[in-house]
Amino acid sequence: MKPGLSLRMSQHLALTPQLQQSIRLLQLSTLELTQEVDQMLDENPFLERAEEEAPSEAFGLDQADTYVSQGDRVSESASTTSSSDDSPSETRDEAVTDVAESWDGDGSVDMRPDDSEWGGDAGPRQNNGEETADAVDLARSMGSLTDFLHRQALSLRLSEVDRAALRFLIESLNDDGYLTDSLPELAASLAGSDDYEQLDELVHRFTVALGLLQSLEPVGVGARDLAECLRIQIKALLKNKPDDAVCQAALVICAQPLEMLAKRDFKRLAVQCGLDESVVKAAIPFIARLEPKPGRPFVEAEQNIIVPDVLVINTSKTGTPKFRIQLNPDVMPKLRVHDIYANALRGSKGASHAGLQQRLQEARWFIKNIQQRFDTILRVSTAIVERQKNFFTHGALAMRPLVLREIADELGMHESTISRVTTAKYMSTPQGTFELKYFFGSGLGTDSGSAASSTAVRALIKQFVDAEKPAKPLSDNQISEMLKEQGIDCARRTVAKYREALKIAPANLRKTL
């Protein structure tokens, strides 16, 4: 063959650094975006926060005045968010160091804690006389679990050794209020494994301190496992009602393996505990009302707060609702290029300024990609609201089937782009705050030839279960037949899958409960 030249035309997509950054920013959640912005502000000197409000057209807010109307009125609701800084507390490693440094050379124990650790007034802080408080204010007022326990320890008259041992155990608790490490393991972390005399002394001190710890509030703190936590709470109740047969039966039941309790095996529990089956049935609901995680109220409530990216507001004051879709201004970073640095670099040429020119271009790309991210979120959200108008009026029962392909075709985007936009992005609506993925779902066939959304079917199943008779709960077959009466073809296995997704117990357990 003879060599020759030929001309060929082709198209291909090159993932430039700017495009890669745009794709990555699009799939980040609000928290991750905030961290990304903070990191970029630290690394790029040409990027700074704008003191004044960002122009509305920069984030597509000029398009947010898109109104979607519907025949019925929807009540307006607001979603609020708040955040606060975590209060610092002493770590367990510091407590280990303080106790370990108190050992004398002769092997005697000299645990002398810093009294400043237990300084301050005992008891939780109050909410300034407010009658009601939300979860965030309550968690903030109570502080951390360790701080709350340290304040209670002030009222105990203890020796220096017992006080140091109690302080060490408090610092060893996990977030749920459990002492996961055994006392010998905690003692071995302070004393040498070969010094048995020191180990025995520490185990003895920790045993005394454990009894003191388990006497503090919240009841059940300091337990080694769930069974012990339940027993501590039941014993505390028995002090006020020593002759309560249900409490006494519950204490005996919690001494048995919890697998039988979880399976509601009344007959086996009655035989193992030597109790009447009716007493066991009365004790099970009593145990269910106990707190399995004593440290739950002290967990930072801010961690579970969802900040919506999009706000859907009903602006109509008449019978016809009118929804306005807009971005949440609280989640949009206000960034700009540093004017002084950019003007100083303008007109400069040469290899020495090539790196600075690249950093300036990166800052401009970053701002542009963030603007494009919010614009895409707004466009997708507007399309979702347009297709799910009935949901904002009638709730989940009016949800219609929707797949990513429909929104992608309407906006001229790829399905993967829609998937990135709807992941970890939230919308505040008159019906509540939902992830954008919540509005997508498959459809089930109906007698009319149309399709019913799986979300609507799950809401209908929950409605059936809520209205059932407690003494005669509905089985999956009965729910399937009731859905067929509504014109929805839903098999029994599908009903069971939806019921499990809703965390609804089977019919036999619902009857027992």
Question: What does the alpha-carbon distance between residue 481 and residue 365 come to, in Å, rounded to a whole number?
Answer: 57
Tens digits of residue pLDDT in 28-46: 998 899 999 999 999 988 8
Could you tell me what percent of the chain has a pLDDT over 70? 78
Q: Can you read off the two tokens belonging to residue 99?
A: 């106790």
Q: pLDDT, tens digit, for every residue of 290-337? A: 999 998 888 765 455 788 999 999 888 777 788 899 999 999 999 998
Of 427 and 122, more confident: 427
Orientation angle between helical segments 160-171 and 196-213, nearest 10 degrees: 80
Enter the DSSP assignment of 379: H
Indicate the length of the chain as a whole number: 513
Domain ranges for the chain:
29-77+306-439, 92-213, 226-298, 443-512
Q: With contact defined as beta carbons under 8 Å apart, do 125 and 138 qualify?
A: no
Q: What is the DSSP letter of 450?
A: S
Q: How confident is the model at residue 117 (pLDDT cuts 50, 70, 90)?
A: very low
Query: How far apart are alpha carbons 318 and 296 in whole angstroms?
Result: 44
- Averaged over 131-136, what is the pLDDT? 45
- Per-residue model confidence (pLDDT) at position 67: 55
Q: How far apart are CA 45 and CA 41, in angstroms?
A: 7
Angle at which helices 354-387 and 415-422 cross, to 10°: 90
Gap between the Cα atoms of 228 and 255, Å rounded: 8
Q: How confident is the model at residue 409 (pLDDT cuts 50, 70, 90)?
A: very high
For β-strands 426-429 and 310-314, DSSP reports them as: parallel
Q: What is the mean pLDDT of residues 53-74?
A: 45
Position 137 pLDDT exceeds 60: no
Q: Determine the Cα angle at 58 with ends 54 and 64, to 5°.
A: 100
pLDDT in tens, 207-222: 999 999 999 999 999 9
pLDDT average, residue stretch 192-215 = 85
- Whether the predicted pLDDT of 89 surpasses 60: no
- H or E element in which residue 273 lies: helix 266-273
Tell me what pLDDT residue 84 has.
38
Higher-confidence residue of 420 and 264: namely 420
Q: What is the pLDDT of residue 241?
A: 85
Q: What is the DSSP string of 105-124?
A: TTS-------GGGG-S-SSP
Q: Is the pLDDT of residue 138 over 90?
A: no
pLDDT digits (tens, 9 = 90+) for 261-298: 877 778 888 888 888 888 888 888 889 899 999 988 88
Q: Domain spanning 443-512: which superfamily?
A: Homeodomain-like (1.10.10.60)
In the chain, the percentage of residues whose pLDDT exceeds 90 is 35
Q: What is the pLDDT of residue 199?
A: 85
Percent helix, strand and coil across the chain, each to the nearest 5? 55, 10, 40
Mean pLDDT across 143-166: 88
Q: The tokens 């009857």 sit on which residue?
A: 511
Record the tokens describing residue 178, joined without a space.
């459990």
Cα angle value 342/347/351 (rounded, 5°): 95
Residue pair 357/66 in contact by the 8 Å Cβ criterion: no
Which has the higher per-residue pLDDT, 109 or 237?
237
Report pLDDT for 1: 67
Q: What is the pLDDT of residues 457-509, one digit of tens each?
A: 999 999 999 999 888 899 999 999 999 888 888 899 999 999 999 989 888 87
Radius of gyration of the chain (CA): 31
- DSSP H helices, 388-491, are 389-394, 404-411, 415-422, 454-466, 476-485
